[in-house]
Structure 1
């Protein structure tokens, strides 16, 4: 039986760090601002430097977006949070075969869906990303809370 919930269980608020942030200062500041605004169910989601760094964690899912992107992304144990300007790197790599079909920001929502599908099908990430791990932990905590209620 379904229970009506007038308030969302979790809210995820995204903000790119827009630069190196090994200490997760941007995430901490966003979290504090959410708490000050009394958004207790809100979770700060802060990719380092940009969300495109997370797309490198799942190269097969990202490459599946366009045929010309096949086998252009690295598949090594790299810390993707350390990539400087990941959006430009993704554009460069995906544009190797066709500049007109290179990655654009508008591609992100559909790539995110492919990555979510890959995660659900237990596709392992390639490399590491502490900022993605914090996001995954926040999602797990939200799901745990939802099953307790």
Structure 2
């Protein structure tokens, strides 16, 4: 799955296997790590996140795409010096409605293939926060004493939520939130994402979404393709 997909082994035997996750931010990559392990328990201990380089391909000018993909491929090659990299995930938010994520996924995956480093694109619509609406109980479990379960989209298509982050911030506010409680109320922040993903894993909800998302369905299929021993 790379420019250097060889069968080198260490003196002690086979190199340990590893899954690499690149993304727009550390919060995103940590969240995806939790979801990957939630979907595939046999990948626990094998998934590693990378803060650099950022995945900035979907809106890049054609002339800039090869170099940006190469930076990721080079980082993967560094990992191959000590590990058998069995799967690579590259995340960028769609910032648009589904199914626009499909075009962004194709652009990212084609760029990575051209760089000699096949990867699975992960492109949530509108943002990763759209996915959290699929698990309202997991969201509420992060701050059970103050947040309401954002169940506004149960049974619906979360790929149609514009500005999902801002919507989530609004939806976790209790409907009966009294003025005296608002002063100390702490709404959703991006840094809460990994904790929500962790709750999804701990509560066994990764394969039980309460809403629909084409981008999440694609992500699940990508995780299934990771071959590990």
Asked if these proteins are the same fold (TM beyond 0.5), I'd say yes
What's 1:4 paired with?
A: 15
Residue 129 of structure 2 corresponds to residue 44 of structure 1: no
Quick one: distance in 1 between partners of 2:191 and 2:165?
12
* Correspondence list, 1:48-127, <5 A: 48-67=125-144, 68-74=146-152, 76-96=154-174, 97=177, 98=182, 100-119=185-204, 124-127=208-211
What's 1:134 paired with?
A: 218
Greater percentage in helix: 1
* Bigger Rg, structure 1 or 2: 2
Contact 1:94 1:101 in 2 (8 A): no
User: How many residue pairs were aligned?
Assistant: 142
What's 1:146 paired with?
A: 228
List 4+ stretches of structure 1 deviating above 2 A.
Answer: 70-76, 95-100, 116-119
Name which of 22, 33, 51 aligns with 2:111: 33
Q: TM-score, normalised by structure 1?
A: 0.84
Contact 2:93 2:126 in 1 (8 A): yes
Map Cα deviations across residues 49-95 of structure 1 (whole Å, 9 max, x no partner).
10001101111111111121133432621000011111111001113
Map Cα deviations across residues 89-120 of structure 1 (whole Å, 9 max, x no partner).
1001113444731101111111111122233x
Runs of 5+ in structure 1 lacking a partner?
none
Runs of 5+ in structure 2 lacking a partner?
1-12, 17-82
Q: TM-score, normalised by structure 2?
A: 0.57
Quick one: distance in 1 between partners of 2:105 and 2:161?
18
Quick one: distance in 2 between partners of 1:50 and 1:72?
16
Pair 135,91 (structure 1): closer, same or farther in 2 beyond 3 Å? same
